């Protein structure tokens, strides 16, 4: 329970979401929901980084961001993490930031024949879902980092924690919606679950079937 909540891939979710995630992984006991709620109430990081409902107002401070230097990183991310991993998309929708609308991005979209469209400014229905996801990921990173300098090292684990957590809007994990299967978490390797053991047996069965299918052809050669 502690590994799922605040482990290497733990997003620090609420007690109900923690119980749901444990059940999806194949773990269950009679007092699971109450134990998960109690564990979350005693979690120090959850109390520190909880939403401040009545937070006092603060002044806004302008910040100078290095937008001209981030366009190369955005182009590299689109090429290495999107196009080469999932294929060429038909359309990419971004906001109107300069690091997303420049000559380098235009050349990349022209190279792969991708339509680049911009969202409507000041329209929450367009960017609200993305901003809400970024807010949740930021909370997960805050709970994982020891110092603010190592946030980039924790980002992959925070993304895995977010992708393997159940979303209330879909009652499913983002990982399962993309791959039609649940990811195997580190805790399932340490404490084998029924789901992991079943998947292992299916993998062995498919391997044996593949060997039997190609066996005659290997004998001919």
Kindly write down the DSSP assignment for every residue of the chain, as one continuous string: -HHHHHSTT-----HHHHHHHHHHTT---TTHHHHHHHHHHT-HHHHHTS--TTPPP---------HHHHHHHHHHHIIIIIIHHH---SEEEE-S-GGGSSHHHHHHHHHHT-EEEEPPTT-HHHHHHHHHHHHHHHHHHHHH-SSGGGHHHHHHHHHHHHHTSPBTTTTB-HHHHHHSSPPPPHHHHHS--HHHHHHHHHHHHHHHHHHHHHHHHHHH-
Supply angle C-alpha 173, 47, 160, rounded to 5: 25
CA separation (Å) from 220 to 75, 148, 211?
A: 49, 61, 14
pTM: 0.64
The residue with greater pLDDT, 149 or 6, is 149
Average pLDDT on 37-64 reads 72
Give the pLDDT band of residue 112 (cuts 50, 70, 90): very high
Quick one: angle between helices 124-144 and 151-163, nearest 10?
120
- Which helix (H) or strand (E) segment holds residue 59: the answer is none
The domain limits of the chain are 2-52+133-190, 67-118
Q: What DSSP designation does 94 have? A: E
Q: What DSSP designation does 172 have? A: B
**pLDDT at residue 55 in the model:** 64
CB atoms within 10 A of CB 108: 18
pLDDT tens-digit series, residues 68-104: 567 788 889 899 988 998 899 999 988 888 888 889 9
**H, E, C per residue of 96-129:** CCHHHCCHHHHHHHHHHCCEEEECCCCCHHHHHH
**pLDDT at residue 107 in the model:** 92
Give the pLDDT band of residue 67 (cuts 50, 70, 90): low
**pLDDT at residue 90 in the model:** 93
pLDDT tens-digit series, residues 161-210: 888 888 888 888 888 888 888 888 777 777 776 776 676 667 777 777 77
pLDDT tens-digit series, residues 119-161: 888 777 777 778 888 888 888 888 888 777 888 888 888 888 8
**pLDDT at residue 114 in the model:** 93
**pLDDT at residue 218 in the model:** 66
Q: In the predicted model, is pLDDT for residue 115 greater than 90?
A: yes
* Contact yes or no for 22/1 (Cβ under 8 A): yes
Q: Is 93 helix (H, G, I), strand (E, B) or coil?
A: strand
**pLDDT at residue 149 in the model:** 80
């Amino acid at each position: 329970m502690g590994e799922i909540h605040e482990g290497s891939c733990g997003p620090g979710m609420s007690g109900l979401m923690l119980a749901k995630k444990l059940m999806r992984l194949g773990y269950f006991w009679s007092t699971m929901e109450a134990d998960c709620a109690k564990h979350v109430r005693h979690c120090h990081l959850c109390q520190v980084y909880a939403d401040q409902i009545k937070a006092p107002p603060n002044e806004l401070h302008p910040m100078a961001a290095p937008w001209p230097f981030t366009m190369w990183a955005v182009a590299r991310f689109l090429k290495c993490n999107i196009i080469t991993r999932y294929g060429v998309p038909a359309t990419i929708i971004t906001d109107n930031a300069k690091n997303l609308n420049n000559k380098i991005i235009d050349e990349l979209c022209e190279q792969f024949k991708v339509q680049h469209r911009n969202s409507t400014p000041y329209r929450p229905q367009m960017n609200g879902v993305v901003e809400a996801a970024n807010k949740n990921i930021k909370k997960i990173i805050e709970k994982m980092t020891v110092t603010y300098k190592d946030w980039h090292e924790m980002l992959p684990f925070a993304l895995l924690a977010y992708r393997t957590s159940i979303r209330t809007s879909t009652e499913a994990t983002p990982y399962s919606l993309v791959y039609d299967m649940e990811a195997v978490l580190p805790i399932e390797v340490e404490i084998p679950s029924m789901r992991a053991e079943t998947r292992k047996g299916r993998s062995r069965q498919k391997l044996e079937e593949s060997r039997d299918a190609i066996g005659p052809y290997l004998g001919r050669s």
